[in-house]
Amino acid sequence: GGSLLAVGREGTSLHAAGGGPPLRLHAGIAAKRLRNAGAAGFQDSLLAACELRAGEVVIDATAGLLGDALVAAHAVGPGGRVVAMESIPLLHAVTSGSPSTLGDARADEALGRVSVLLGDHTALLRSMPDESADVVFF
């Protein structure tokens, strides 16, 4: 048998044919990173490397389950946004079929600034106008 993609109020989840817990979008480690971001002495490696600022447009070229995209969206604040690129159709379905809540206030607020595109990052980046983003990370 194949896998099952389920869409409901709680978001989209992928149920593997072999069983096990479904794959769904959740705050996960991003929630911990967001909580720690304000702690004294803590430096998130993504934020340090990208030097993100409020209002910037950021591209996450390898979206996965949006952990880095959520952290970046929090950093750029309400005036910024994150475009996350995912090449695997089923993973794109899980991340773009967002639940109403991720279970973490910071992550929920950041999710509103993330849009997820389906496609190969090379092709998607080539299709974008020059200077359409302030930061691109892989």
The pair of structure tokens assigned to 122 is 């090379």
Q: What is the pLDDT of residues 77-133, one digit of tens each?
A: 999 999 999 999 999 999 998 777 898 999 999 999 999 999 999 999 999 999 999
Comparing CA positions, the residue from 137, 82, 91, 87 lying closest to residue 115 is 82
Q: What is the pLDDT of residues 26-72, one digit of tens each?
A: 999 999 999 998 777 788 999 999 999 999 999 999 999 999 999 99
CA-angle at 122, arms to 120 and 128, nearest 5°? 105
Collapsed DSSP state (helix, strand, coil) of residue 93 = helix
**What mean pLDDT is reported for the chain?**
93
